Amino acid sequence: MEPALDARRHALLEAMGIDVWVRRDAVVAPAADAAPAGMPASGGDAVAELSALAREVAACTACPLAGTRTQTVFGVGAATARCLVIGEAPGAEEDRRGEPFVGRAGQLLNAMLAAIGLARESVYIANILKCQPPNNRDPQPAEVAACSSFLRRQIALVAPRVILAVGRVAAQNLLGVETPIGRMRGQDYVYAGTGIPVVVTYHPAYLLRSPGEKRKAWTDLQRAKRLLDAAGDA
């Protein structure tokens, strides 16, 4: 690895609050099909189908959140991403900008991904909900149900090798369990009907409030990296 890249990696780990040495050959280059934020990257039919799905989401009125949103927040990243990050729901800034994980939590997520060699543009990032709940409350079951088919189709189109579920709400709804996140971490999960492994970790917003938990999140990220390495390029 070039010294500049090695220094950048350690700077990113420091941003996460992690003081740890990593393998010098661990960096994964950004995907060649990485696209600007807000647009799916190259991937043939997946690009067109994700774009069509995004338009369908934008027109959705299946739950009351359609009446309070500024805009829908569909997802961003590479249409053929090997890693799919799934969060809870858009916040106020995401609702304003139409992109998931912006602001301080988004910056920390970027650092978390980069710490295992993944550029933000090389992964795909989405949420359980595509609209902001009022006052950033937890998603209600009916809202999750209304959005569930959109998320399933996103996962099918991207076809990732690994799903990283960030936060309790995302993990519980994605996996259909009520297990506390502290007990979900480190366990073997797969997304139903696909065999895609799901790694559960803390939400970046929680880590900003509880920096002492960042080391646990680093362990989760290393787990995701091992799964990606094991999957290879297949």
For the stretch 81-102, pLDDT in tens is: 999 999 999 999 999 999 999 9
Token pair of 85 as six digits: 């990050």
* Tally of structural domains, the chain: 1
Q: What are 214-220's contacts with CB under 8 Å, separation 24+?
A: 214/16, 214/17, 214/18, 215/17, 215/18, 216/185, 217/16, 217/112, 218/13, 218/16, 218/18, 218/20, 218/115, 219/185, 219/186, 220/164, 220/185, 220/186
Bridging pattern class, strands 124-127 and 76-77: antiparallel
Q: Does the pLDDT at position 161 exceed 60?
A: yes
| Average pLDDT estimate for 113-138 | 96
Integer Cα distance of 150 and 145 in angstroms? 10
The more confident residue out of 153 and 15 is 153
CA distance 177 to 28: 32
pLDDT band of residue 232 (cuts 50, 70, 90) is confident
Average pLDDT, the chain: 85
pLDDT of residue 43: 53
Q: Identify the pLDDT of residue 14.
A: 52
Averaged pLDDT, 216-220: 97
At 58, which CATH number? 3.40.470.10
Q: For the chain, what percent of residues have pLDDT higher than 90?
A: 79
DSSP category for residue 122: G
Least confidently predicted of 28-42, 197-211, 213-227: 28-42
Q: What are phi and psi of 114, to 5 degrees?
A: -65, -30
The mean per-residue pLDDT over the stretch 37-52 comes to: 68
Domain hosting residue 86, numbered range: 3-231
**pLDDT class for 29, splitting at 50, 70, 90?**
very low
pLDDT of residue 44: 62
Residues 126 and 154 sit within 8 Å (Cβ to Cβ): yes
Only one residue has tokens 């080391």, namely 215
Q: Which two tokens stand for residue 56?
A: 């369908």
Predicted confidence band of residue 111 (pLDDT cuts 50, 70, 90):
very high
Give me the pLDDT at residue 156, please: 96
- Kindly report which listed range (10-24, 120-134, 142-156, 198-212) carries the lowest average pLDDT score: 10-24
pLDDT in tens, 201-215: 999 999 999 999 999
